[in-house]
Structure 1
Amino acid sequence: MNATPGRIKKGRKFDQVLHGAREVFLRDGFEGASVDDIARAAGVSKATLYSYFPDKRLLFVEVFRLECDRQTMAALDEIDFAAPVPAVLRKAGEHMVASFLSELNQAVFRVCVAEADRFPELCDAFYRSGPRRLHDELVAYLAGINDRGELAIPDPPLAADQFIELCKADLYLRHLLRLADSFPPAEIDRVIDGAVATFMARYGR
């Protein structure tokens, strides 16, 4: 039961298992999702499930990784990177906030915090699939607009971290602590617009 994310075995029913697991995790959360329910939803035996994922945590993170891929591709397809910088940041902010407030994303974060001491590989897989990938995508964009002289960004990695945190504002923590289940669109718009305005005020030429 101590397999690491890099040692996941793949086979003929691998995608079938992931599809069933995603359905159950989104419905029941990590703690509420049983191996029996996942196997049933995937249409496989428990033995088959365990042959791919000997630890439920590994399965959870793999589902999260694929969800990150889906969200990233959706964002890249929608964002017009040739648009003015504020418009690009605005659209990127919308996708980021939606990701931050995703139940699956937050559930994975909670599991990683709870398991950090016993299962550091889980935290590494979460970080590389989610926060680090978001950071790297944003750094690449910011470095490009700095090179073109559209903004003055001497430290793109730091600027990327700053914009990500600006987009979280009070929304992320309140949702993570279950103090609010959802937010009015106007409140989300206020946070994103404020993040873009603050970022442009700091780095605009």
Structure 2
Amino acid sequence: MSDTTVLAPNTPARPDIDSPKRREVIEGARRVFFDKGFDGASMDEVAKAAGVSKATIYAHFSSKDELFGALAMCERNRSAEHMFEVDPAVDEVDDMLRRIGLSFMTMMVRPDHIRLIRMLIGVAEKFPRIGSNFFDAGPALGGIRLAELLRAQEARGRLDLAGEDAVELGVLFLNMCNGNFVKAMMFAGAEPPTQQQIEAVVDRAVRVFLASYGRAA
């Protein structure tokens, strides 16, 4: 049976989707996928890395691509966990944007994140659902979450979005924070930027954004 073949109908019912055993499988998959890549990884290697049987893996995931998709979503959740921990009622808009920008870029330039994105780009051509799910729960959701905070700041008189789409403005800000760091790492093998380099680009993004949409105190 290939790693992408669904098990026969006598496969046991799926256990709890957040069970400790499922997390063990995903952690084992993380080590194998990040070491071997999607095509090079096998379910046998994942089972060995996770310390479980292949039957246990297939009790949770019907195929290698489903397991990789679950890993990608787990990594996204782990990376974005603290990104939007701000309070528009308390935080000034420049501090809020700076904190989000720094958290976002610290996550984006992690070497493991770069490896994950490279794998996702390759996998998405064969399994577009994985790429679509990651995009919806990652980049797209990031713009939506930031849009909510931008609207809250506008309601408090700290921003004037000028009737523009808040989601598009959220994506615009995050892209400005990105600079050229991620592309340089993905395509040219560049080293991760220093904290000072990240701060310089994020601070510039905050200034440019507020110059267009900020309100004077």
Normalised TM-score (structure 2): 0.80
Show the counterpart of 1:184.
194
Matched, 1:144 2:152: yes
Bigger Cα displacement from structure 2, 113-122 vs 102-111: 102-111
Show the counterpart of 1:49.
57
Matched, 1:87 2:95: yes
Q: Deviations over 1:90-145 (max 9, x none)?
A: 11001111222133433333233323343111111111221122111111101111
C-alpha distance in structure 2 between counterparts of 1:55 and 1:2, whole Å? 6
C-alpha distance in structure 2 between counterparts of 1:58 and 1:95, whole Å? 29
Show the counterpart of 1:113.
121
Structure 1 stretches (4+) deviating beyond 4 angstroms?
26-29
Q: Deviations over 1:9-57 (max 9, x none)?
A: 4445222212222343445554554433321121111232133223323
Larger radius of gyration: 2
Which amino acid in 2 is paired with 1:159?
A: L
Deviation for aligned residue 1:188: 1.2
Identity %: 29
Deviation for aligned residue 1:158: 1.6
C-alpha distance in structure 2 between counterparts of 1:9 and 1:124, whole Å? 24
Bigger Cα displacement from structure 2, 15-24 vs 81-90: 15-24
Matched, 1:70 2:50: no
Over 3 Å counting, the alpha-carbon distance change for 1:26 and 1:110 in structure 2 is closer
Over 3 Å counting, the alpha-carbon distance change for 1:178 and 1:46 in structure 2 is farther
Comparing both structures, which one devotes a greater share of its residues to helix?
A: 1
Normalised TM-score (structure 1): 0.84
Which amino acid in 1 is paired with 2:115?
A: A
Unaligned runs of 5+ in 2: 7-12
Deviation for aligned residue 1:198: 0.9
C-alpha distance in structure 1 between counterparts of 2:112 and 2:176, whole Å? 21
